[in-house]
Amino acid sequence: SLAGLWRSVGVEPDAVMGHSQGEIAAACVAGALSLQDAAKVVALRSQAIAAGLAGRGGMVSVALPADRARERIAAWDGAISVAAVNGPGSVVVSGDPGALDEMVAQLEGEEIRVRRVPVDYASHSAHVEAIREELLKVLADIAPRSSRVPFYSTVSGELIDTAGLDAEYWYRNLRQTVELEATTRTLLDDGHTVFVEASPHPVLTLPVQQTVEAAEAQAVVVGTLR
């Protein structure tokens, strides 16, 4: 809807990227998925998460670079995963509730900023493997197509052909780490200089801005609504 609002005043995207579930919206904006298929992916994937993952996990935002976050979570032997790399000093981790509680207590004791994400499941971790077959079944009939607008995947960090955004892709989108920082760097390398977060509550403008600064690039980063 917000992308449509920008377009109504003449602002057309030269490219899109999306973060986790936001990548479904990006695919719709790009023309890769019909509105009906995009809504179907959102709804049926959410139902699968509620039925198969809810109550078993959690997610926490951590103000650390990805390499340091991976060093810290190694102590829990796979019970915690890096779910998203948003910027040079901003990651989200996900996993087992008990392990996350221990990690939060440890990091807070060192005055490292942590914030719990208000969910009871662990996206972008091994937990998601439990619903793979369900996702492949319920999303089997979506019909992705090559998009009019270039689509930069935060699964791979690269520009991709959206004809491949099938059920298996949307499983990987939920299972693998969200590579927002790497994708932002790819967009900067490809000459993009204006980033608009089309969200009613922009939380990614800061890590994108931090990535711009870390890359020593010149770019404008703005939100839409608050």
What is the structure's pLDDT at 226? Answer: 81
> Domains along the chain?
58-126 (3.30.70.250)
Instruction: List the pLDDT tens digit at each of the 226 positions of the chain.
Output: 999 999 999 999 999 999 999 999 999 999 999 999 999 999 999 999 999 999 999 999 999 999 999 999 999 999 999 999 999 999 999 999 999 999 999 999 999 999 999 999 999 999 999 999 999 999 999 999 999 999 999 999 999 999 999 999 999 999 999 999 999 999 999 999 999 999 988 999 999 999 999 999 999 999 998 8
Amino acid at 94: S
**CA dist., res. 131 & res. 35, Å (int):** 24
**CA dist., res. 87 & res. 66, Å (int):** 8
125, 20 contact by CB (below 8 A): no
Q: pLDDT tens for residues 115-162?
A: 999 999 999 999 999 999 999 999 999 999 999 999 999 999 999 999
122, 58 contact by CB (below 8 A): yes
**CA dist., res. 202 & res. 184, Å (int):** 16
Amino acid at 204: L
Q: Point out which residues pair with 220 in neighbouring strands.
A: 194
